[in-house]
């Protein structure tokens, strides 16, 4: 059994052992901050993505989904500001050559101080850091590090370089002939694929403002400090929605999406007490308001989703760089003037959640180690993933008690009936108790056992993952029962 401090390490090991997440290119000793999803992880990730897609595009009749390419015209990133502004202030330790993100280094120091009871110093340091970051005062940040004698974790020295900016975008070449090739970027956010398609979607979909365009897909960032498993990766997946609104109404929609998105996260099983809002002090170059919905991860409160009021910045920038008019004609009547709103560049409220981060929240809540005393006085234990039924990778395990007497044939009949409707797993090897434990460990909410009584009265035993209780039900009712729980 893991204790509080190593529960996160136990979760990472569990993800590997049960086919959820592997280190990328593990046989070559791995690639830092890049991960592969295994057979169970890929299915869980798809189920989370499907829930998001449904909640956006099916449950909102004014939101549609697209799938834009990862490669985009290089001018996109000039227009969006990413070429010039998408960077983090970093600092290197001259003795160890280890590079740190300045905010992470200072936050780490503040956390240490807090743990030592120096709450006031911790809070003052964070307040000072926020102000310096907001003012882009890099000399001030270096001074803050030096004044507090913040040391490198490796060299234990305070010998720092100047604070410098590093762009986070990955670049590559497009074109087969070297001389004719052009530098392009791997997108650092999916949002720009939505902005450049604004007119295509608005016109072909005859969308009326307010409306949204949603998209899920890979994004790439050359994170210098990548850590905490899949929390901060170099290749990750975003689920973003840009909501286009009338200028002046953006704060009302910002409030709306702030509330809606927290509600949705709660509907995915995240307890309200583990979610909180954090308003940005330093706003991104495109925003007039921004906040994070933070989650209490096993390693502390961290950003899970961003809600950003992006003004008309992106559409206007693309209009300027492409020389194509990107506007919307609003023929609704403005009651204050009695005239139609007419032509304008819409404002945008964005919701942006990392799929991998959401996956991590769900896994960290689901992972439970249980211990109990049995009726005969002996101890028993299990590791169980209490993943919400609607997103569990496998819904039902179908287990013949024995590999003979016609029990596998009956089990396969049930498998054929159920697999059209939800993901099932069939297994006949090992003792039944061992098979139940394996299903607990991968988070399968229901197991059905076919035994000799099944042959007599067509009933089976259904076992519930979370309570481990069992009951006898008619085999013909199993599919409906599971479907009812998924719904
Ligand atoms: N389009 C706006 C945007 O990209 P962001 O706050 O940089 O905003 C949005 O990213 C979300 O994407 C974050 O809240 C986080 O969940 C996820 N994300 C960002 N960088 C990530 C990384 N390196 N690894 C995993 N997820 C990341």
What angle (nearest 5°) sits at the alpha carbon of residue 41, between those of residues 39 and 44? 110
Residues 153 and 144: beta-carbon distance below 8 Å: no
**What local confidence, expressed as pLDDT, does residue 226 receive?**
67
Instruction: Calculate the average pLDDT of the chain.
Output: 95
Q: What is the mean pLDDT of residues 460-472?
A: 97
Does 4 score more than 70 pLDDT?
no
Residues 107 and 63: beta-carbon distance below 8 Å: no
Please report, for residues 1, 245, 402, 437, 471, the alpha-carbon distance to residue 428 in angstroms, rounded to integers and kept in the order given: 28, 56, 7, 14, 20
Among 89-98, 176-185, 222-231, the range with the most confident prediction by mean pLDDT is: 89-98
Q: What is the pLDDT of residues 368-379, one digit of tens each?
A: 999 999 999 999
What ligand 1 atom has the least distance to the C-alpha of 352? Answer: 9
Residues 81 and 317: beta-carbon distance below 8 Å: yes
Q: Report CA(71)–ligand 1 centroid distance (Å).
A: 18
pLDDT more than 70, % of the chain: 98
Does 357 score more than 70 pLDDT?
yes
Does 179 score more than 90 pLDDT?
no
**Residue 9 CA to chain centroid, in angstroms?**
19
What angle (nearest 5°) sits at the alpha carbon of residue 247, between those of residues 244 and 250? 65
**What local confidence, expressed as pLDDT, does residue 133 receive?**
83
Q: Report CA(355)–ligand 1 centroid distance (Å).
A: 9
Assign 85 a pLDDT band (cuts: 50, 70, 90).
Answer: confident
Please report, for residues 77, 313, 315, 326, 480, the alpha-carbon distance to residue 320 in angstroms, rounded to integers and kept in the order given: 13, 11, 9, 9, 57
**What local confidence, expressed as pLDDT, does residue 393 receive?**
98
CA nearest 53: which of 212, 159, 200?
212
**What local confidence, expressed as pLDDT, does residue 283 receive?**
83
Please report, for residues 287, 313, 314, 325, the alpha-carbon distance to residue 321 in angstroms, rounded to integers and kept in the order given: 19, 12, 11, 10
Kindly report the number of other CB atoms within 10 A of residue 222's CB atom: 16
Residues 152 and 30: beta-carbon distance below 8 Å: no
CA nearest 305: which of 263, 273, 244, 346?
263
The encoded tokens of residue 389 equal: 């039924």
Q: Whose CA is nearest to atom 17 of ligand 1?
A: 354
Q: Is the CB of 353 under 6 A from ligand 1?
A: yes
Does 88 score more than 90 pLDDT?
no
* Residue owning tokens 């100047």: 162
Q: Is the CB of 232 under 6 A from ligand 1?
A: yes
Q: Which residue has the higher pLDDT, 285 or 16?
A: 16
**Residue 444 CA to chain centroid, in angstroms?**
22
| Cis upstream peptide for 433 (omega within 30°) | no
* Residue owning tokens 């799929």: 355
Q: What is the pLDDT of residues 17-29, one digit of tens each?
A: 999 999 999 999 9
Q: What is the mean pLDDT of residues 214-223?
A: 96
CA distance 392 to 462: 17
């Amino acid at each position: 059994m893991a204790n509080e401090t190593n529960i996160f390490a136990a979760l990472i090991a569990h993800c590997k052992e049960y086919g959820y997440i592997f280190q990328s290119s593990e046989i070559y000793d791995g690639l830092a901050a890049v991960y592969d999803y295994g057979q169970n992880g890929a299915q869980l990730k798809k189920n989370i993505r499907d829930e998001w897609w449904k909640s956006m595009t099916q449950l909102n009749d004014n939101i549609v989904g697209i799938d834009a390419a990862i490669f985009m015209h290089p001018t996109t990133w000039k227009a969006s500001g990413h070429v010039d502004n998408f960077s983090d202030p970093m600092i290197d330790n001259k003795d160890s050559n280890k590079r740190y993100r300045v905010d992470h280094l200072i936050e780490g120091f503040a956390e240490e101080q807090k743990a030592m009871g120096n709450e006031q110093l911790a809070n003052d340091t964070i307040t000072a850091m926020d102000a310096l970051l907001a003012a882009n005062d890099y000399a001030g940040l270096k001074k803050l590090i030096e004044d507090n004698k913040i040391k490198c974790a490796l060299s234990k020295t305070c010998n720092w370089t100047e604070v410098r900016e590093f762009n986070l975008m990955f670049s590559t070449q497009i074109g087969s002939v070297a001389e004719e090739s052009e530098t392009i970027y791997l997108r650092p956010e999916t949002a720009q694929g939505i902005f450049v398609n604004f007119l295509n979607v608005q016109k072909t979909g005859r969308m009326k403002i307010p409306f949204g365009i949603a998209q899920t897909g890979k994004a790439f960032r050359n994170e210098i400090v990548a850590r905490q498993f899949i929390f901060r990766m170099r290749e990750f997946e975003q689920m973003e929605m840009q909501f286009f609104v009338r200028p002046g109404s953006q704060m009302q929609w910002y409030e709306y999406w702030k509330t809606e998105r927290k509600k949705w996260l709660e509907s995915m099983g995240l307890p309200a007490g583990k979610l909180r809002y954090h308003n940005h002090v330093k706003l991104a170059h495109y925003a007039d308001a921004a906040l994070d919905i933070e989650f209490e991860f096993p390693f502390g409160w961290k950003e899970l989703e961003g809600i950003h009021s992006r003004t008309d910045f992106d559409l206007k920038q693309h209009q300027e760089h492409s020389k194509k008019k990107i506007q919307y004609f609003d023929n609704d009547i403005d009651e204050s003037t009695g005239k139609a709103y007419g032509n304008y560049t819409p404002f945008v409220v964005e919701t942006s959640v990392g799929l991998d981060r959401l996956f991590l929240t769900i896994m960290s809540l689901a992972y439970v180690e249980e211990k109990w005393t049995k009726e005969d006085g002996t101890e028993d234990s299990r590791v169980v993933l209490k993943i919400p039924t609607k997103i569990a990778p496998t819904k039902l395990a179908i287990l013949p008690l024995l590999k003979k007497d016609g029990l596998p044939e009956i089990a396969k009949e049930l498998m054929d009936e159920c697999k059209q409707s939800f993901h099932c797993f069939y297994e006949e090897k090992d003792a039944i108790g061992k098979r139940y434990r394996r299903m607990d460990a991968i988070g399968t909410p229901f197991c059905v056992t076919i035994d000799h009584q099944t042959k007599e009265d067509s009933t089976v035993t259904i076992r519930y993952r979370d309570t481990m209780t069992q009951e006898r039900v008619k085999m013909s009712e199993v599919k409906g029962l599971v479907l009812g729980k998924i719904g």
